[in-house]
Structure 1
């Protein structure tokens, strides 16, 4: 991009250096210009997202946009008590109301299978986890406010909602438990009577580390202890959940349109566990999906209900949640109460970390509820530090609240928050600069591959280099002057830093299987070359805002040397795509993108055979560059389109060597997690009169490995930072002691707005490419939400300390009232 500045008529230009914009007051030298111009296509370029055209012009195709002939509408009767015995449900008045086609209650689904957790976890003493059944509709008992116990199907949505109001339910309210502490107290009410406890499991990781860690902490010269809360969050995707069920009585086929991040998993759960539908008779289609953040990975009972109703009625059944239903029933995130201890030498060298956590999993085990607080959390409790002893104890607890599951970051934010808050507190106690303390304990580049005491092997990284970049882009050297300027205006200014690492692309399948995964964690892609040279790439990953339709073609175009406009990405329809594991955990490029590479390599290999035949040359002599096949050392060549056409017009093919057609599939099962890392710095101002916190500056330096599309990566980081700042300062999902949700609307649940966040300084140039996938990518989607909460809270504590307030911790959200109260103490 070029521009001309009006000031003094000076010409200026904008070019790129390490994929970052650089403005200069004169043109670079001609040889420098070519090297620094941004790529306009392929890997490393930032073309505009092609899917945004339809999204921004109202031409998207979301589940609620779909309407089918003969369609009916569903609405649900939901419990207004958190714990109650269902004595009776009278639907006679509702059934007689205008437009009502059918009414279902939980009794209609008593014999239907449950919706299982995706991971089996054992307690540290070897006993199996408790796994209560999760019904399609509650029967016998309701277990949280919003638990659905009946459904009305009617000709119009208004008629369905009116009829729901006419259902007479006799529900005896029982004492509720809304927190882990209440659920574990002596004599506590049981969420599920049949399992005789509210504790799902008492997990230790790694149990063999326990004695050594206890001994190290007992004998350590210094121990920092911190008790903290990782506050519960509501996902709040832009698009509420929606489902349309259809049944073809002529073929016995079911079709479910639904808002899913993982359509194949939804199909598997419904067919194998919930409804017993032959898998080949169920198609799940997830069209455009307006955000998920984890809450749309899982199967929900509404999906099974609309399918069952469609079969019974012989008509399609549609349901779309309103925002109140989303607050009450979408899987929530976080909700940990943790005690963490960090033992060090007097000079700050880390000796041991020990944590004890209560994890609220809500009233039912959502599909990833058991892995999020365990293997996605406990295995990261060493951070990116050389700490020799780590032991993690976690108790998963059932309560009378909405189910809790993976939310952007899924266990990694919880681990990072605990580690980075206790390190900051330790630095104050030891009077060591917080950045210096982190640097002292970083794993160094010559130590990789590095096996942590919590059983992960980090393949590569350079945490000092990332911290160097943070200090540069955040201008940390200038903080003292900015603090003085704030103090002159009567404000307290604080600086908070953190250094995080996360594990993405959960893998490999043989390892996670040993750890309790009930599914494989590979992904798949099919590359189909059409006779005219265009391509359809069918991927197992699903895009709900990540830009797959732009980024995946960049990879294929780079490999083939063709225009990205010739490449179509197909996703979200189980009848078209290979069996894949969907999108979550920043796995799309690292896992599914690697499958795309492998399938494209197969395409290239076969295309070279065809080209060799066409040019009467040896296959080993064929080269592919810029969309043209040539014979090395000669002027013979054939274009990509000619080879594609020849594949489908195979006249004179040597049939024994070359099959007609040009289509290949690859499954990719990673050898390891990928390990993105980063260092973040936040500067806040605190108004000592009111306690209001304002984020003034935020810098984020990340190591994502190789970057396919810098613009998309920057956007992903921006989004994550906004969510993390929201958690740190504003968002809080609150239940009262009776299990009533007090923050069930945007009147009570504070979402971040534009003026709550600053302009960000973002950089991803200090990269170390992943060593074990073909793209060298690591994942970027969760980073901002992982690194920002501890940065913000560290900054607030620093601000208060600078004003002479002996405040060492404030739980999130760090609201004005909490800050003011802390200052008064």
Structure 2
């Protein structure tokens, strides 16, 4: 792709142009404002005392030594929360099990009451005049613990006699949920010529945004209102859940401001205990309170991602056509249900198991399991990477077992006709999967791979090639269907377009940016529609006091849903402006054309610029007051009619040193169909970032808990390996385009694609290189070396 960037002042800087990001100047010059930059008058500082045990009873607290530290203004424990009658953190999605019963929903207190259930659980909050005083006092808080047995994996948790995480779920099962036609799937397997079976773990990940979570809460006795500054991806949802469902305060009395956010990847979607405790305590102390997570706290308390244990089967006929797929997954939910955790391994996972293939029958059973670990929730891709990994590992393995070329096997089974109703609920509106695969094969020079493999062999190295053809569902929709599936919130988006008297525009969007470049892309949309300059558009987001409403940003929904809401508001602005122009030009409204920022009487040279119409709206001396109100400010809500379905083909080429097991990714090619693209440069950056995260999961990242004690073994960067620049190749990226059919922009979403398609491609390449059918993620050098040794003991040398 590698588009040449365009300056924002360029007249061609509309939809489709690689406009330089407007927001980057303030970020690069240190002028951004993140939550930790917020300083309020009289501000105090909070430190949380966290459980050192994965499972223990709390017998009591000894707080005198902590209270004696100079500067301490308050210490709060679960006893205070219980006495105040504060509710627990809610889960935003109700899953109904296969037995018709609702999922088990144990209380999730904002400070532990009586029992701690994972290492890092919130036990007490210390508030002091300075951060150092709060830290010192927190170290002096003494808690009487009675340690109990713990379980950290789904297999442990559902074993007979395992300790229960919650009394409400004595067998640790939150739900057993199914999707698909079991009988039809079994029938497909009964007539199969070949069945491929894999059992594997989708490794648990710890999100690591550049900016840790942070919050500043303040209470005003003057009007009994609260203000919360918080690093969060959806401030309106944060306000709704916290006010209405936990603290019981009027929603309009809580203003949530999410300023600049340094990365989220899903980990900042949720309502967390810390900010909720801060808001409540700010009234108790009548002082603003600030908390910024230490990196070690983030490892312990941020919601983790993935963590599935799966057995999957694919049935094929003698010609390699897919007949059926059967999937059984145990999903680790952690100690509590996080905000959207229940839907990630169900609605966002099983519905994508068709992938790009016309598999006639699919059945999936998911068991959600409580363990004594940090809660697990959405992480970049949220269910879609897990589904793609299941599908693409099965397909690649089936190709090797049947001797069919991996690309050819995929081609034989691609969906060719759209719209296509999958057997797992979703209906794909459009796509061209063959075009993406063909382009990827060309860019990756797959035809030249045998020669490269032979050259590597001559150097004593092993070369492998892996494919992954993914699809994802973005822009969760529509609200009424989601509600039937258990969503406890709407999935619409809101946008306001406020035209000022000079023709400049301020946009208020319910979407939220945490690094994606929304201030640029939304400005491009507005500028393109109204025919004005990008620098004449300001974008406001992340403030419930200024934005009408919104559901935030996640699931690659910003342009498809938030952008469409703005387009609907822009249509209203243009429609009203056309009426004003018709009056001023003394013409019929139907004769007024609008293009390139001018209203023109059709077939004439009589026209008025948009800025003059805007001025007339606010200085209505020549204005149809009998039919129109003054002003030019329009709001729209958009509830999508379907998901969007980005898709693509990723091809990974690796070289493995058989002496050490060290893997080098020598080439990574990604060809994606994102529909119409507003800013190619930003899309390319999003794909690069996603590929880095996916490669990190495949090669390096893996959260590990000690199975006996429940301690987090990978609790810092010393033990949790993040991808660095030298772990990554130069990416080759390109796009194809089948526009989305049900939003006016024709966009599909791009933010998660790289992380969805790449893990399977990397593992497929490594297993191809070393001659095994399966290897667990992360494919560390030790794990690869061990697989090579085992292979050499049981068969011919790798590469033979």
TM over 0.5: yes
Give a deviation string over 1:622-650, Cα, whole Å, max 9, x none: 12222122211222221211111110111
Give a deviation string over 1:368-418, Cα, whole Å, max 9, x none: 101100010000111110100100000000000000000000000000001
| C-alpha displacement of 1:522 | 0.6
Out of 449, 460, 466, the residue aligned to residue 419 of structure 2 is: 449
Aligned pairs for 1:359-438 (under 5 A) are: 359-438=331-410
Determine the structure 2 residue equivalent to 1:8.
Answer: none
Question: In structure 2, how many angstroms separate the alpha carbons of the residues matched to 1:217 and 1:656?
Answer: 71
| C-alpha displacement of 1:516 | 0.6
Give a deviation string over 1:500-538, Cα, whole Å, max 9, x none: 111000100111111111011010100000111110100
Could you say what the CA RMSD is over the residues aligned between the two structures, in angstroms?
1.1
Out of 616, 621, 624, the residue aligned to residue 646 of structure 1 is: 616
Determine the structure 2 residue equivalent to 1:821.
Answer: 786
| Aligned length, in residue pairs | 782
Question: In structure 2, how many angstroms separate the alpha carbons of the residues matched to 1:137 and 1:93?
Answer: 20
Determine the structure 2 residue equivalent to 1:810.
Answer: 775
| C-alpha displacement of 1:652 | 4.3
Question: In structure 1, how many angstroms separate the alpha carbons of the residues matched to 2:395 and 2:728?
Answer: 25
Determine the structure 2 residue equivalent to 1:734.
Answer: 704
Give a deviation string over 1:691-719, Cα, whole Å, max 9, x none: 01110000000000000000000000000
Determine the structure 1 residue equivalent to 2:796.
Answer: none
Determine the structure 1 residue equivalent to 2:661.
Answer: 691
Question: In structure 1, how many angstroms separate the alpha carbons of the residues matched to 2:11 and 2:578?
Answer: 27
Conserved 8 A contact 1:39-1:46: no
Change (3 A) 1:20 1:159: closer
Out of 718, 729, 732, the residue aligned to residue 758 of structure 1 is: 729
| Structure 1 SS opposite 2:770 | helix
| Structure 2 SS opposite 1:784 | helix
| C-alpha displacement of 1:39 | 8.2
Is residue 2:77 matched to residue 1:77? no
Question: In structure 1, how many angstroms separate the alpha carbons of the residues matched to 2:750 and 2:583?
Answer: 43
Give a deviation string over 1:601-623, Cα, whole Å, max 9, x none: 00001011111112222111112
Determine the structure 2 residue equivalent to 1:3.
Answer: none
| C-alpha displacement of 1:656 | 2.4
Question: In structure 2, how many angstroms separate the alpha carbons of the residues matched to 1:656 and 1:352?
Answer: 65
Aligned pairs for 1:538-549 (under 5 A) are: 538-549=508-519
Conserved 8 A contact 2:3-2:680: no
Give a deviation string over 1:423-464, Cα, whole Å, max 9, x none: 1111111000001000000001xx210001101110000000
Change (3 A) 1:557 1:21: closer
Determine the structure 2 residue equivalent to 1:503.
Answer: 473
Is residue 2:171 matched to residue 1:197? yes
Determine the structure 1 residue equivalent to 2:104.
Answer: 130
Q: Which runs of 4+ in 1 moved over 3 A?
A: 19-22
Question: In structure 2, how many angstroms separate the alpha carbons of the residues matched to 1:91 and 1:218?
Answer: 66
| Structure 2 SS opposite 1:239 | coil
Determine the structure 2 residue equivalent to 1:13.
Answer: none
| C-alpha displacement of 1:21 | 5.4
Where does structure 2 lack aligned partners over 5 or more consecutive residues?
A: 5-9, 791-800
Is residue 2:197 matched to residue 1:221? no
Aligned pairs for 1:104-119 (under 5 A) are: 104-110=76-82, 111-119=85-93
Determine the structure 1 residue equivalent to 2:40.
Answer: 68
Determine the structure 1 residue equivalent to 2:252.
Answer: 280
| Structure 2 SS opposite 1:162 | helix
Out of 624, 635, 645, the residue aligned to residue 605 of structure 2 is: 635
Question: In structure 2, how many angstroms separate the alpha carbons of the residues matched to 1:169 and 1:104?
Answer: 13
| Structure 2 SS opposite 1:594 | helix
Question: In structure 2, how many angstroms separate the alpha carbons of the residues matched to 1:474 and 1:272?
Answer: 53
Is residue 2:285 matched to residue 1:320? no
| Structure 2 SS opposite 1:390 | strand
Is residue 2:207 matched to residue 1:235? yes
Out of 599, 611, 614, the residue aligned to residue 584 of structure 2 is: 614
Conserved 8 A contact 2:584-2:623: no
Question: In structure 1, how many angstroms separate the alpha carbons of the residues matched to 2:596 and 2:178?
Answer: 54
Question: In structure 2, how many angstroms separate the alpha carbons of the residues matched to 1:579 and 1:643?
Answer: 28
Out of 718, 723, 732, the residue aligned to residue 688 of structure 2 is: 718
| Structure 1 SS opposite 2:705 | coil
Conserved 8 A contact 2:616-2:623: no
Give a deviation string over 1:451-507, Cα, whole Å, max 9, x none: 011011100000001111101111111111211221222110100011011100010
Conserved 8 A contact 1:352-1:390: yes
| Structure 2 SS opposite 1:612 | helix
Aligned pairs for 1:152-191 (under 5 A) are: 152-191=126-165
Aligned pairs for 1:550-565 (under 5 A) are: 550-565=520-535
Determine the structure 1 residue equivalent to 2:797.
Answer: none
Determine the structure 1 residue equivalent to 2:569.
Answer: 599
Question: In structure 2, how many angstroms separate the alpha carbons of the residues matched to 1:485 and 1:539?
Answer: 54
| Structure 2 SS opposite 1:178 | coil
Determine the structure 2 residue equivalent to 1:678.
Answer: 648
Question: In structure 1, how many angstroms separate the alpha carbons of the residues matched to 2:169 and 2:60?
Answer: 24
Question: In structure 1, how many angstroms separate the alpha carbons of the residues matched to 2:310 and 2:535?
Answer: 50
Larger mean CA deviation between 224-233 and 193-202 belongs to: 193-202
Larger mean CA deviation between 194-203 and 719-728 belongs to: 194-203
Determine the structure 1 residue equivalent to 2:552.
Answer: 582
Conserved 8 A contact 1:39-1:45: no
Where does structure 1 lack aligned partners over 5 or more consecutive residues?
A: 1-18, 23-37, 802-806
Conserved 8 A contact 2:3-2:681: no
| C-alpha displacement of 1:240 | 0.2
